[in-house]
Amino acid sequence: MGENTFVTFWQDQCVGVRDIVEYCHDFFNYFLYRLVLINCDARDVTKILRYLPDPTRRLSIAYYGRFVSQYMRISLQRLRSFDIPSIHLTHSGITCFDLNAFLRYWQQGGSRRTKCLDIMLSRVNFDILFHETRAVERGQDVTRKYKDDDIDITITGGYDIRRNGDGRLATCGYWADNSFKMFVWRRNQNR
């Protein structure tokens, strides 16, 4: 490992993530942008280097399936506690009911720093997912360009939800790669 790498082991990985994020914020007054967690032991450094080949890149929390599926599922409470710009979950155990609760939590002002949410789901029920969210469905004829930090994507259709208080808009959808994605638009971004 290089000098720019921080290696740590935790009994409860989610508590460890929270502690690292809080430590970086409190000590350095710096918000982490990306924190990659990988389930591997010290003998398999190549797995870590494959996910973080360039330590100078901006640091989002990314849970990869090998990590989550072998240790624990991510609960709704833990998902809410990750108030970070980018969240990517695979094999997390999150359901449409959980996502609905998270979307309503976000609308009420929770997870204010979250810009991108990407969660793998095997199937989605839009009635459950957007229940009581006042989501506005956009037709397939509506195409918008979303760009923020390292994300540059064209969004076709989707569902728009608005946050109470500050009026921020998020576009949600279910993509062909079996993932639910939510992108929060910047205030000055064309949408």
Residues 6+ positions from 6 with CB-CB distance below 8 Å: 20
Neighbours of 11 (CB within 10 A): 6
Assign 79 a pLDDT band (cuts: 50, 70, 90).
confident
Q: What DSSP assignment string belongs to 167-179?
A: --EEEEEEETTTE
Residue 137: its pLDDT value, please?
A: 92
Return mean pLDDT, the chain.
Answer: 74
Amino acid at 38: I
What DSSP state is assigned to residue 74?
P
Burial (CB < 10 A; 0-12, 13-18, 19+), residue 32, is: buried
Buried b / exposed e over 117-155, threshold 16 CB at 10 Å, is bbbbbeebeeeebbeebebeebeeeeebebebeeeeeeb
Domain extent listing, the chain: 13-184
pLDDT tens digits, one per residue of 31-55 = 555 555 554 444 444 554 555 555 4
Residue 59 pLDDT > 70:
no
Give 155's strand partners: 144
For the entire predicted model, the pTM comes to 0.66
pLDDT of residue 102: 94
The single-letter DSSP state of residue 119 is E
pLDDT at residue 20 is higher than 60: yes
